[in-house]
Amino acid sequence: MSTYTTLAAAFDDEPTPSELAAIAAEEPVIDAEVAVVDAECALAMSPDEVTIRRHRRAVVALGVVLRTAVESSTNRATSTAPTYTAGSPLSTARRVVIRPATRTA
């Protein structure tokens, strides 16, 4: 069997229903993390009061989504979705604190 057909056979598999359920369960967390990163990018570009509030709202919304994910995963005894613990991060995203640059003349 050639290398191409071996690789093609490995990637032809469709996701299983349990994998799709796990992806769907994690989607709100991913969306909230993306909103935080977008707000941090906007904050880096123009650190005004509006973007600071936008960043705060995104961080608060991420916290709410994380708490909801933790609570819903502990309420389900048997689930195909990933389980989250309160202390473990859900992804590799890091919290970045961006401070406004100080200009020197």
pLDDT digits (tens, 9 = 90+) for 47-88: 899 999 999 999 999 999 998 887 776 655 444 555 555 554
pLDDT digits (tens, 9 = 90+) for 19-46: 888 888 889 999 999 999 999 999 999 8
Cα-based distances in Å from 35 to 20, 31, 40, 54:
22, 6, 9, 9
Contacts of 65 (CB under 8 A, 6+ apart): 28, 29, 31, 32
Tokens of 102: 């100080």
Query: Can you give the pTM of this predicted structure?
Result: 0.55
